[in-house]
A and B are shown apart, each in its own frame.
Chain A
Amino acid sequence: MITLENLVKAFGTGNAPVVDDVSLSVPAGAFLVLLGPSGCGKSTLLRMLAGLENPTRGTIRFGDTLVASASQSLPAGQRGVGLVFQSYALWPHMTVAGNVDWPLKVSGLDPAIRRIRVAEALDLVGIADLAGRYPAEISGGQQQRVALARMIAPRPQIMLFDEPLSNLDASLRVEMRHELTRLHAATGATTVYVTHDQVEAMTMASHVAVLNRGRIEQFGRPGDLLTQPATAFVARFVGTPPANLVPVQAGAWLGLLPDPALRGATGLAMVRAQDWHLSGPGPRSLPAQKIEVVPLAGRLVVTCKLGDQRVTVIAEPEAPLPADLHLALPEAPYALFNIEGQPLP
């Protein structure tokens, strides 16, 4: 179990905190994804979990053990955690087997046991045949697997990943997502995974924390992010395609089309792509211009320009696109947010 309480990290005094008052808790065996845009503080949070940075305030607990607070910090090597770096950070002067073996050697394991563990780890990630090679001699995808093997060989209770798939190409990424899920199931270790890719969060996570500017926007199960987005930021960040946020003013869509369903709100109305449809001119429709059409699973994802923003809508491939393109509005918005992005009751 990992518990964070009021965790703050600021670099230098007087600077805005990079991680700002983060509290959350996940059970043992969970797969927690820290999701957010670059610069949101997710990597710093991960490095605090790893023991590579110390918190400015707040506490980190693994189970009942206090591992870090402002005044004390358990060294990285004693936390029982493994970390896969974005750059993989393979030691270039050691072979693949040497890389996997070194952490075991440091922890003082018997050579016979080490040999078995190294073989197991390499086998688990499917690179047993590369044991004697040097990192410079293998491909990026293979280096990634070496980094995985090196992390799991000491059998950590907690596995940490810092955007591990961002340097791989698209098809390899799908393969590695499956591999990581398998690895998580095989080891049962609690996992914390940092990414800016919401697809990775949706496919692998048991828990997701969406971070923005150092703060948690929403913490919950992946499905909750789609069905009950806590803020406009979350609604705009997750989903394939992500939900649309249409500006509303004094209860009127775009300030033009009054609608009692908007309850007089000023802010943003959340409309999922499947909640509205393309039509010709009508009493409850807004004019739009087509930008692009992407076929997806037998249907079409149509991107349009509505006012000065881009929105998406799902269309059936049989029906031709109307000549004078309009978006027919839903009965009611899926959710309403104020200007600051907070939900309106």
Chain B
Amino acid sequence: MPPILRHPGLWPTLAVLTVLCLLVAAPLATILGETLGSAAWAEVLASRLSRNLLWRPLATTLTIGVAVAAGCLLIGGFLAWLVTMTDVPFRRSIGFMATLPFMIPSFATALAWGTMFSNGRTGGAGGMLEGLGVAVPDWLAWGIVPVILVLIAHYYALAFTVISAALSSVNGDLIDAAMMTGASRRRIVTGIVLPVVTPALLAGASLAFAGAVSNFATPALLGLPVRMQTLSTRLFGMIEIGQTERGYVLAILLIAVSAVFLGLGNRLLAGRRSFATITGKGGRGRVMELGRARWPLCALALLICLVTTILPIILLAAASLAPMSSALFSDWTLHYWIGEADPAFARGLAGILHNPQLLTALGVTMGLGISVALAANAVGLVVAVTTTRWHLPLLTGAATQLSFLPLLLPGIAFGAAYIALYGAPIGSFPALYGTPLLLALALTAAMLPFAVQTGRATVAQISGEIDEAARITGAGFLRRLWSITLPLAAPGQIAGVLLIFVSVIGDLAIVVLLYTPATPVLSVLSYRYASDGFHQFANAVTLVILILSIAATLVAQLLRKRQRNAA
């Protein structure tokens, strides 16, 4: 028997690899297989249709990606500089608020944009500005400009996080050392600060780019009404009208576009040229005195944060109460929340709390959120334990790669891949389409990278000397698990579960292709309401999602803080 077959880690690793193949590799292989040799490739890439099918949406997508990356770099970089290197007031608060926009689903921000800026062009009443008598031009109400702005408001938090980490590593001794040489301030910036921070800038930009090109909700809500198509909306449209093969081809192309940039970003963050982790010590940061610009810059930063976090929520709340979004703050009614069906009002639709579909959706969403969070976390932990404990040639590497692969996959393309594989019966195994299980599987797979990350942090925390210290006391495995491992791991694990929960209930891109009337979820319901013109209802449903997200995020933050204090 060759030694590899006697390796104690062989069977666990193979088991993990099988699960990962079913969750991640198989759906991808299916869309590749289904389109292999298909005429769809030629139709999409080189036919009379390809200009509308691919090239124009691709150009729009890339334009959006580049503009969003630039905008995020500008805003995220500005805030990061302000928070890490200057004496601006309220630094901590700004630093905290600048990470929040990413917690708000992008369709919430897009809906809020519509509440403010929409005009009568696509039917229905205009938004708040029209109500105030401002004629909102089409370019500001619909299409590429609002899509770019909303996506910047959503993704700048990513750039901020990456850039501020890099800036705080360069601040302090590194700059002091440069000052000792007598270098001018400009020379220090160009010779030391920028080179050290550049990898982080590029990484931040590529993360924002990949996020923007994969985003579905925002172009769907603000672009589709004026027939602006991106790769993701085009892909959605193709599958909706049954041209699945063309849809799969678009999915593959979308994955390629976003993966190239995301892969680049991750490489820059992890590679030798990333310096964020080299010099952790020497903490006393040099604070740049802003002088008279202190308060104006503080006001600007707070304004950016408020406009991208609190303001959308306020707009959504008001818009869920006001019959006319052109008069957001008058005639408030709770009809859209609790009203009975009334033919004279809102085309006879009852308030969302009387809508049986909403209640089902709430149940399904919560059920999905909780079960996916737990399942992904469990799988993530097992993957983390298995891949750190044993190192088998090829197999361990493959498992690690597969578990992080979903990070590179745009949600809507992932959804398409799941339809391709599990939408139809496989042998005697029934089709999963129309069951919550399909949604749960796809979401679990999509959340795996975060779960594995949490799992690795836990494993790193509880293995090694801490566990050995307990072993020496003679404590048995269960005893150690109960009194050492669990107390240490629990806060991190719970925080991980909560964050996955937030991502799941706020997700639209993955579920929009997979849901059926039998398995409604809140985000899709909100999207449906919005695309049918029932904005108040859409806003109300989105608010429900937001409230759930905020509550879960706060609990997660609290747990993190407590864990950090313990450590």
Please give the residue numbers on chain A whose beta carbons come within 8 Å of chain B beta carbons, in ascending order: 50-52, 75-78, 81-83, 85-93, 102-103, 106-107, 134-136, 150, 154
A50 — which chain B residues lie within 8 A by C-beta? 176, 180
Which residue from chain B places its CB closest to the CB of A167 in the assembled complex? B281
The verdict on B48 contacting chain A, using a C-beta distance below 8 Å, is no
B275 — which chain A residues lie within 8 A by C-beta? 92-93, 136
B183 — which chain A residues lie within 8 A by C-beta? 77, 106
The 6 closest A-B pairs by CB, nearest first: A77-B182, A87-B282, A89-B173, A103-B181, A92-B275, A89-B177
Contact of B173 among A82, A85, A107 (CB under 8 A): A85
A103 — which chain B residues lie within 8 A by C-beta? 180-182
A77 — which chain B residues lie within 8 A by C-beta? 179-183
Kindly state the separation between the CA atoms of A52 and B176 in the bound complex, as whole angstroms.
7
Kindly state the separation between the CA atoms of A103 and B282 in the bound complex, as whole angstroms.
20
Q: Given A91-B196, A93-B273, A83 and B177 touching (CB < 8 A)?
A: yes
Output the residue of A81, A89, A102 with the most chain B CB within 10 A: A89
A76 — which chain B residues lie within 8 A by C-beta? 179-180, 182
Please tell me if the beta carbons of A52 and B179 are within 8 angstroms of each other in the complex.
Answer: yes
Please tell me if the beta carbons of A78 and B177 are within 8 angstroms of each other in the complex.
Answer: no
* 30 contacting pairs across A/B (C-beta < 8 A): A52-B176, A75-B182, A76-B180, A77-B181, A77-B182, A77-B183, A82-B180, A83-B177, A85-B176, A85-B177, A86-B173, A87-B281, A88-B279, A89-B172, A89-B177, A89-B279, A91-B174, A91-B177, A91-B178, A91-B192, A91-B196, A92-B196, A92-B275, A92-B279, A93-B273, A103-B181, A103-B182, A135-B278, A136-B272, A154-B181
Count of A-B contacts with CB under 8 A? Answer: 77
Chain A proximity mask over B175-200: 1 for CB below 8 Å, otherwise 0 = 01111111100010001100110000
B272 — which chain A residues lie within 8 A by C-beta? 134, 136
Q: Given A102-B191, A136-B278, A89 and B174 touching (CB < 8 A)?
A: yes
Chain A proximity mask over B271-288: 1 for CB below 8 Å, otherwise 0 = 011010011011000000
Q: How far is the CB of B67 from chain A (nearest CB, A)?
A: 29
A92 — which chain B residues lie within 8 A by C-beta? 196, 275, 278-279
B179 — which chain A residues lie within 8 A by C-beta? 51-52, 75-77
Kindly state the separation between the CA atoms of A246 and B442 in the bound complex, as whole angstroms.
75
Q: Given A50-B180, A52-B176, A75-B182, A89 and B282 touching (CB < 8 A)?
A: yes
Q: How far is the CB of A196 from chain B (nearest CB, A)?
A: 16
Please tell me if the beta carbons of B173 and A87 are within 8 angstroms of each other in the complex.
Answer: yes
Please give the residue numbers on chain B whose beta carbons come within 8 Å of chain A beta carbons, in ascending order: 172-174, 176-183, 187, 191-192, 195-196, 272-273, 275, 278-279, 281-282
Kindly state the separation between the CA atoms of A52 and B286 in the bound complex, as whole angstroms.
10
Kindly state the separation between the CA atoms of A134 and B180 in the bound complex, as whole angstroms.
21
B281 — which chain A residues lie within 8 A by C-beta? 86-87
Please tell me if the beta carbons of A106 and B177 are within 8 angstroms of each other in the complex.
Answer: no
Contact of B279 among A81, A90, A102, A150 (CB under 8 A): A90
Which residue from chain B places its CB closest to the CB of A135 in the assembled complex? B278
Q: How far is the CB of B263 from chain A (nearest CB, A)?
A: 22
Output the residue of B177, B181, B187, B279 with the most chain A CB within 10 A: B177
Q: A83-B176, A91-B178 are in contact. List 4 more A-B contacts (CB 8 A).
A: A93-B273, A103-B181, A106-B187, A106-B191
Q: How far is the CB of A11 from chain B (nearest CB, A)?
A: 11
Kindly state the separation between the CA atoms of A92 and B272 in the bound complex, as whole angstroms.
10
A102 — which chain B residues lie within 8 A by C-beta? 178, 181, 191
Q: Given A106-B182, A106-B187, A107-B182, A89 and B273 touching (CB < 8 A)?
A: no
Kindly state the separation between the CA atoms of A106 and B278 in the bound complex, as whole angstroms.
24
Please tell me if the beta carbons of B181 and A106 are within 8 angstroms of each other in the complex.
Answer: yes
A91 — which chain B residues lie within 8 A by C-beta? 174, 177-178, 192, 196
A82 — which chain B residues lie within 8 A by C-beta? 180
Kindly state the separation between the CA atoms of A134 and B191 in the bound complex, as whole angstroms.
16
Output the residue of B173, B182, B191, B282 with the most chain A CB within 10 A: B182
Which residue from chain A places its CB closest to the CB of B276 in the assembled complex? A92
Kindly state the separation between the CA atoms of A134 and B196 in the bound complex, as whole angstroms.
13
B187 — which chain A residues lie within 8 A by C-beta? 106
Q: How far is the CB of A167 from chain B (nearest CB, A)?
A: 8
Kindly state the separation between the CA atoms of A204 and B278 in the bound complex, as whole angstroms.
31
Q: How far is the CB of B189 from chain A (nearest CB, A)?
A: 13
Q: How far is the CB of A178 from chain B (nearest CB, A)?
A: 25
B196 — which chain A residues lie within 8 A by C-beta? 91-93
